[in-house]
Chain A
Amino acid sequence: MEQFFTQLTNGLAVGGIYALIALGYTMVYGVLKLINFAHGDLFTIGAYLGLTLLASLGLTGNVGTAGGIFFLVLMVMGLVGVIGILLDRAAYKPLRTSPRLSAVVSALGASIVFSNTIMLVYGPSPRVYPQGLLPTHVFYVFGLPVPIMRIIILATSLVLMIGLYLFIQKTRTGTAIRAAAIDQGAARLMGINVDRVIMLVFFIGPALGGAAGVMVGLHYGQINFTMGWIYGLKAFTAAILGGIGNIPGAMVGGLLLGVIESMGAAYISNAWKDAIAFFVLILILIIRPTGLLGERVAEKI
């Protein structure tokens, strides 16, 4: 029972991170029908930028730990968001009218560029986040231990996700994003600035990915330049699991995948942990490619 509970909270915390990254995939896919392969690397950039800012600005010393980390996350989100916009300008915008798969190859190229740039700047060996910034406190719920860090991560992810959901559902800009996702041409005719929508999507998605990067750094302590692709693939799996293009789907998919993976590692085999997500990915694409919350669409002939 205790092991089950431990794995559950662990899975939910990791799942929150997957969900945050998955939102970036799903938003870009929703509007452009493009898998942004470089998204995982934007997450890595977030982790590394967080490390640099933490070390150079001494944020936590000036405004206290909680406030410092809050500002840190905000700054990283802003910076990674801007990188996201630049990525779109350089690698995707020239290919808007090309076959979709050209953009996919370009995305792959951009991913290689990002991960190797990180390696050249920060070196190939893993880097370590400063320890002891966050409380290591353990709560007991009905006598079962819950490290506070997991609660913080899950809570932060949930706050960001709910914020995004409300933004998309309740604001004019959010409505414009949804409209552009359904039909770009029609949205344009209705006076929606689709280019601005795309820019916004390429800001928000990477910003959330960057936040996830900082959270991984703070939680696990160690980061490396290749982690983006494995987190990216898993987050993409989460997006597919929930139904790509669907924002609540990404959240559900992320949390679910986190739990499946941590349960699988505990009860099936730890050595096969990374393979579990890929099995989930393959199964869902074979059985229900539209995901849990997605709708079926007939192909027009």
Chain B
Amino acid sequence: MSVSGNNIRIGLYAAVAVCWVAAPFFLDNYQTDVLNNIAIYALLGLSLNIILGYGGMFHMGHAAFFAIGAYTTAIMNTSWGIPVLWLLPLSGITAGVFALVVARPIIHLRGDYLLIVTIGMVEIVRIALVNNIFGITGGPNGIFGIASPQVFGYPINGIVHPAHYFYLLTVFIAFTIAVFYLLEHSRYGRALKYLCSDSVAAEGSGIDTSGYKLSAFVIGAFWAGMVGNLYAGKITFISPESFSFWESVVMFMIVILGGAGSIPGVLLGAILIIGLPEFFQELQQYRLLIFGIALVAMMIFRPQGVLPPKPHTYPVDKIDEKEVAL
């Protein structure tokens, strides 16, 4: 792509970012809350994108990691009163450790088998939550009374002031985009793309594919766990229903329809799948039907998604002649 094409693209992204940040000034509380939902799902989509987009692993149990993060926060906050945002890293870690344990034995499974096993995993987690495992998850009723997060002593209440929460989430999204962008364009991100493209060739080139697959699961889960923390702090009440298999399907659709392996694609996917139905309230009951048709149609006509990843250009011309060495 030419330089001016790139500039247009960057200009467009900047304009979208400005509109996003300014949006709460023009929206009511309900509408801002919709943006908050989009933000949560965008974050979940970005974290799933590491596994499904770059790594090409058909993982449909992402809601399990999200749930573990949310429950970690809920339990620690309601039992010991630890402030929600302090629990952000811990929520990520518990989800990441869980991923490490469950993903290790299933990581070598072929695409469609992995898909079905991860569905099994998310269902087992949901059933465990419903059955009040270890007596700490509150069973089918879930956990009430999670505190709102505080930033420098100011409470950020997602229910009363959705706009406050909006900016908390936006900061986290900006951070996530920056970090994942760097990750995508590094040795690590390339390794995931190699194994996604051809795992035998990747192994033959010296890439430890199972190690990378596992670490992608851990990073994706770690992030989903942190999103779980922000989600719990936002709605202050969580129950197993929020983490069903269908939540996983929605995250999966966001990545696949938006553009697997593409950060702008995933963000657009979240806007389309979570935001768009709000404009068509009268069609609410047809929502899933339309998504189902869209999935089939996309696979037939545009399998790479709405905004597929652009090939990365390397600064080949900025490399000095003396750096070109065997």
On whether A and B touch (CB less than 8 Å), the answer reads yes
Q: Which residue numbers of A lie inside 8 Å of B, CB to CB?
A: 34-35, 90-91, 94-95, 98-106, 108-117, 120, 229, 233, 236, 240, 269, 271-272, 274-275, 278-279, 281-282, 285-286, 289, 301
Contact residues in B for A282 (Cβ distance below 8 Å): 106, 117, 120-121
Decide yes or no: A281 and B116 within 8 Å by CB, A95-B300, A105-B256, A110-B296 being known contacts. yes
A-B CB contacts (within 8 Å), total count: 107
Q: Of B86-94, B268-276, B281-289, which binds chain A?
A: B281-289
Taking A101-B58, A109-B299 as given, write out 14 further A-B residue pairs in contact, using a Cβ cutoff of 8 Å, ordered by the A residue number: A94-B300, A101-B112, A104-B111, A106-B295, A106-B299, A109-B293, A112-B295, A115-B288, A117-B289, A229-B245, A271-B127, A274-B123, A282-B120, A285-B113
- Tell me, yes or no, whether B294 is within 8 Å of chain A by CB: yes
Contact residues in A for B295 (Cβ distance below 8 Å): 105-106, 108-109, 112
- Tell me, yes or no, whether B224 is within 8 Å of chain A by CB: no
Nearest neighbor of B294 in chain A, beta-carbon distance: A109
Contact of B303 among A90, A102, A114 (CB under 8 A): A102
Contact of B292 among A112, A275, A279, A286 (CB under 8 A): A112
Contact residues in B for A98 (Cβ distance below 8 Å): 299, 303
Decide yes or no: A101 and B111 within 8 Å by CB, A109-B295, A112-B291, A120-B289 being known contacts. yes
- Tell me, yes or no, whether B249 is within 8 Å of chain A by CB: yes
Contact residues in A for B119 (Cβ distance below 8 Å): 233
Which residues in chain B, 278-314, are within 8 Å of chain A measured between CB atoms?
285-286, 288-289, 291-296, 299-300, 303
- Tell me, yes or no, whether B124 is within 8 Å of chain A by CB: yes
Nearest neighbor of A269 in chain B, beta-carbon distance: B131
Contact residues in B for A281 (Cβ distance below 8 Å): 116-117, 120
Nearest neighbor of B60 in chain A, beta-carbon distance: A108
- Tell me, yes or no, whether B200 is within 8 Å of chain A by CB: yes
Decide yes or no: A102 and B117 within 8 Å by CB, A116-B289, A272-B127, A278-B124 being known contacts. no
Q: Which residue numbers of B lie inside 8 Å of A, CB to CB?
A: 58, 105-106, 109, 111-113, 115-117, 119-121, 123-124, 127-128, 130-131, 200, 245, 249, 252, 256, 285-286, 288-289, 291-296, 299-300, 303
Contact residues in B for A229 (Cβ distance below 8 Å): 245
Contact of B300 among A99, A106, A240, A285 (CB under 8 A): A106
Contact residues in A for B289 (Cβ distance below 8 Å): 112-113, 116-117, 120
A286 CA / B294 CA spacing, docked (Å): 33
Contact residues in A for B286 (Cβ distance below 8 Å): 116, 120
Contact of B124 among A100, A271, A279 (CB under 8 A): A279
Contact residues in B for A34 (Cβ distance below 8 Å): 112
Q: Contact: B131 with A236, CB < 8 Å?
A: no
A272 CA / B129 CA spacing, docked (Å): 11
- The smallest beta-carbon distance between A237 and chain B, in angstroms, is 8
Q: Contact: B120 with A278, CB < 8 Å?
A: yes
Q: Contact: A100 with B111, CB < 8 Å?
A: yes
Q: Contact: B288 with A116, CB < 8 Å?
A: yes
- The smallest beta-carbon distance between B245 and chain A, in angstroms, is 8
- The smallest beta-carbon distance between A2 and chain B, in angstroms, is 27
A100 CA / B128 CA spacing, docked (Å): 33
Q: Contact: A301 with B299, CB < 8 Å?
A: no
Contact residues in A for B130 (Cβ distance below 8 Å): 271
Q: Which of B288, B291, B296, B303 lies at the interface centre, i.e. has the most chain A CB atoms within 10 A of its CB?
A: B296
Nearest neighbor of A244 in chain B, beta-carbon distance: B113
A34 CA / B113 CA spacing, docked (Å): 11
Decide yes or no: A275 and B127 within 8 Å by CB, A98-B303, A113-B293 being known contacts. yes
Contact residues in A for B106 (Cβ distance below 8 Å): 282, 285-286
Q: Contact: B288 with A112, CB < 8 Å?
A: yes
- A-B contacts, 10 of them at CB < 8 A, read A106-B299, A108-B249, A109-B295, A111-B292, A112-B288, A116-B288, A240-B116, A278-B121, A279-B120, A286-B105
Contact residues in B for A271 (Cβ distance below 8 Å): 127, 130-131
A44 CA / B299 CA spacing, docked (Å): 25
A268 CA / B17 CA spacing, docked (Å): 54
A116 CA / B300 CA spacing, docked (Å): 21
Nearest neighbor of B113 in chain A, beta-carbon distance: A285
Nearest neighbor of A281 in chain B, beta-carbon distance: B120
- The smallest beta-carbon distance between B21 and chain A, in angstroms, is 33
- The smallest beta-carbon distance between A139 and chain B, in angstroms, is 35
Decide yes or no: A104 and B288 within 8 Å by CB, A90-B296, A282-B121 being known contacts. no
Contact residues in B for A286 (Cβ distance below 8 Å): 105-106
A90 CA / B121 CA spacing, docked (Å): 30
6 closest cross-chain pairs (CB), A and B:
A109-B295, A112-B292, A278-B120, A113-B292, A109-B296, A116-B289
- The smallest beta-carbon distance between A172 and chain B, in angstroms, is 31
Q: Contact: A110 with B292, CB < 8 Å?
A: yes
- The smallest beta-carbon distance between B300 and chain A, in angstroms, is 5
Q: Which of A91, A99, A105, A106 lies at the interface centre, i.e. has the most chain B CB atoms within 10 A of its CB?
A: A105
Nearest neighbor of B203 in chain A, beta-carbon distance: A301
Contact residues in A for B200 (Cβ distance below 8 Å): 301
- The smallest beta-carbon distance between B56 and chain A, in angstroms, is 8
